[in-house]
Amino acid sequence: MSVKDLLIVEIAEGVAGPCCGLQFADLGARVIKIEPPAGDRTREWGPPVAEDDAAIFIHLNRGKESITLDLTQDDGRARLDAILAAADAVLAQNDPAEENLPDWSEVARRHPHLVVCEIDDLGPVGPHGGLPGSELTVQAMSGFTRYVGEAGGPPCRVGFEIAGMATAMHAYQAVAAGILSRNRTGEGQYVRVSALNSLLSMKTILLAVQTGGMDFWSGFHLNGPHWPADTGWHTKDGQVTFDFRHEQREEWVAFCERIGQGHLPNDPEYKDWRSTIYLGDRRFTHGEPYRKWFAQQTCADASALINELGGISVKFHDYGEMLAHPQVEHLDTLIDVPDEVEAGRRQIGFPFRYAGEPRRKEYGRAPRLGEHTAAVLEEFCNAKAGRSEATGTGRNR
């Protein structure tokens, strides 16, 4: 069964659920987005770009169909059931304050062929069980905000949607693995993904260290939350990274010579030379000789010398600089949405590609609210009943 054969129903607002649905749509699945009569909240997340819709919405929902249904009403839920009978999976996230929305584990029991992926913010049980969260509150609750901003300064957020994306990717995995399992066993199932759990799972790389019981421990080898903001090395026209790896002492020595600091390798203070560059904890106390040199360079010149000597140096780009970089242009990462308004025509593509296969470069635009309501209800709700009962797989559309 190809992803192109799947019918995914998305009943989720914000970033996580819609971004999961987006990935299925990008790979060719049919995604029907069911919105409440007022629409997905992200339609208003930012100034209007396409009619009343914000840039974020039109990106996260390209290539989907939109219908509006009031799922707090019996009539809306009956129509939902008719669509789910033909679907492979449903992605759902309820607003915890809204009563009378579907119980998704019950939906899974009623539609045994279906993979039902319910997303929540903070987990289903416990003192905060079932409460709503947000990108910022989930970052705060998982401790990620401690690693940006000034130590002891006002709180900062990580400036991109780490909670939303981790949840979206886990939800994609849940649905895809659930469908693989269903295709083998004949049984769909209910699966839950939480935003807070998603970020904590991503934190596993450090949790084992934080558990304690290390053989020796003199603080994080990585920049800890008690360190100053990490802004790299400052040149005349921006900031750059700077590294030679452990085995590259000779290259570092050559670098020191080229910048007029040839005495450093003989200085006992620089015996542990790598801790004075890159991520090291002695950058602050021993970085001055480098800092003086960087301050006289452009980013391009500084990075060119370091990379020429076998090290690694890149600029701290903004998005415009990143997209214009020859390597990013070479990767051909942007796609076209020809029927979208001008401001939404260029978008980010899919994060993986199949070697030797042409890359999809054109996608359909995001739907206006309820644009496909009449057609979808005609297709699923006016047809003969019993679609899924016929095969039990939902693949008979």
Partner 1 sequence: MSGPLKGIRVLDASAGAVGPWAGTLLGMLGAHVIKMEGPQGDFIRNVMPPKRGLSATYISMNFNKSGLVLDLKNPQDRAEAHKLVETADIFIENFRPGVADRIGIGYGSLSAINPRLVYLSGSGFGQSGPMVKIGATDPHIQPFTGSCSVNGMPGGARQRWRWYGHFDCTTAMCIVEGALSALLERETTGRGKHVHVTMIEAAMALQRVRISEHLAGMTPQPMGSAVSYLVPDEAFATKDRPLAVTASSPREWRSLCKAIERPELADDPRFARNPDRLKNRDVLIPILKEVFSSRSAAWWLDRLQRAKVPAALFTSYDEYRHNVHYLENRMLTTFETPDWGTLTVGGVPWRFQKTPGEVRPGTPPGAKTEEIKALGWPAIGA
Of 354-373, which residues contact partner 1 (CB under 8 A)? 354-357
Pick from 190, 144, 188, 189: nearest CA to 166: 144
State the minimum distance, in angstroms, from the CB of residue 346 to partner 1. Answer: 5
**The amino acid at 396:** N
**Interface pick for partner 1 out of 13, 35, 65, 281 (rule CB under 8 A):** 13
The number of residues in the chain equals 397
Among 263-271, 284-292, 343-351, 380-388, which window interacts with partner 1 (CB under 8 A)?
Answer: 343-351
**Interface pick for partner 1 out of 183, 266, 296, 396 (rule CB under 8 A):** 183
Annotate each residue in 303-332 with x if it binds partner 1 (CB under 8 A) or - if it does not, as one string: ----x----x-xxxxxxxxxx-xxxx-xx-
State the minimum distance, in angstroms, from the CB of residue 374 to partner 1. Answer: 25
The set of residues, in sequence order, having a beta carbon less than 8 Å from that of 41 and lying 6+ positions away, is: 13, 14
Size of the site for partner 1 (CB under 8 A): 167
Return the structure tokens found at 105: 């584990």
Kindly identify the residues of this chain, within the stretch 217-276, that bind partner 1 according to CB under 8 A: 217, 221-225, 227, 229-232, 234, 238-241, 243, 245-246
Terminal-to-terminal C-alpha distance of the chain: 14
State the minimum distance, in angstroms, from the CB of residue 262 to partner 1. Answer: 25
The residues with which 23 forms a beta bridge, in sequence order, are none
Residue with Cβ nearer partner 1 (59 or 387): 59
**What pairing do the DSSP bridges indicate for beta strands 48-50 and 53-54?**
antiparallel
Pick from 334, 359, 363: nearest CA to 63: 363
Query: Any contact of residue 204 with partner 1 (CB under 8 A)?
Result: yes
Query: Any contact of residue 41 with partner 1 (CB under 8 A)?
Result: yes
Separation between Cα atoms, residue 127 and residue 138, nearest integer Å: 15
Residue 60 and residue 97 in contact, taking contact as beta carbons nearer than 8 Å? no
CA 265 to chain centroid, in Å, comes to 43
Residue with Cβ nearer partner 1 (345 or 372): 345
Kindly identify the residues of this chain, within the stretch 93-112, that bind partner 1 according to CB under 8 A: 95-98, 105, 108
Residue with Cβ nearer partner 1 (253 or 279): 279
The set of residues, in sequence order, having a beta carbon less than 8 Å from that of 240 and lying 6+ positions away, is: 232, 233, 294, 299, 302, 303, 313, 314, 315, 316
State the minimum distance, in angstroms, from the CB of residue 165 to partner 1. Answer: 5
Residue 170 and residue 201 in contact, taking contact as beta carbons nearer than 8 Å? yes
User: What are the angstrom distances between the C-alpha of 108 and each of 81, 84, 117, 297?
Assistant: 11, 10, 9, 61
Query: Any contact of residue 152 with partner 1 (CB under 8 A)?
Result: no
Residue with Cβ nearer partner 1 (27 or 381): 27
What is the C-alpha radius of gyration for the chain, rounded to an integer number of angstroms? 26
**Interface pick for partner 1 out of 12, 14, 66, 90 (rule CB under 8 A):** 14
Query: Any contact of residue 45 with partner 1 (CB under 8 A)?
Result: yes
**Interface pick for partner 1 out of 172, 255, 293, 294 (rule CB under 8 A):** 172
State the minimum distance, in angstroms, from the CB of residue 296 to partner 1. Answer: 18
CA 233 to chain centroid, in Å, comes to 28
Separation between Cα atoms, residue 269 and residue 267, nearest integer Å: 5
State the minimum distance, in angstroms, from the CB of residue 79 to partner 1. Answer: 23
Query: Any contact of residue 128 with partner 1 (CB under 8 A)?
Result: yes
**Interface pick for partner 1 out of 68, 70, 77, 203 (rule CB under 8 A):** 203
Return the structure tokens found at 203: 């934190």
**What pairing do the DSSP bridges indicate for beta strands 238-240 and 233-235?**
antiparallel
Kindly identify the residues of this chain, within the stretch 66-85, that bind partner 1 according to CB under 8 A: none
User: What are the angstrom distances between the C-alpha of 214 and each of 201, 204, 286?
Assistant: 21, 16, 27
Query: Any contact of residue 91 with partner 1 (CB under 8 A)?
Result: no
The residues with which 347 forms a beta bridge, in sequence order, are 335
State the minimum distance, in angstroms, from the CB of residue 63 to partner 1. Answer: 14
State the minimum distance, in angstroms, from the CB of residue 266 to partner 1. Answer: 26
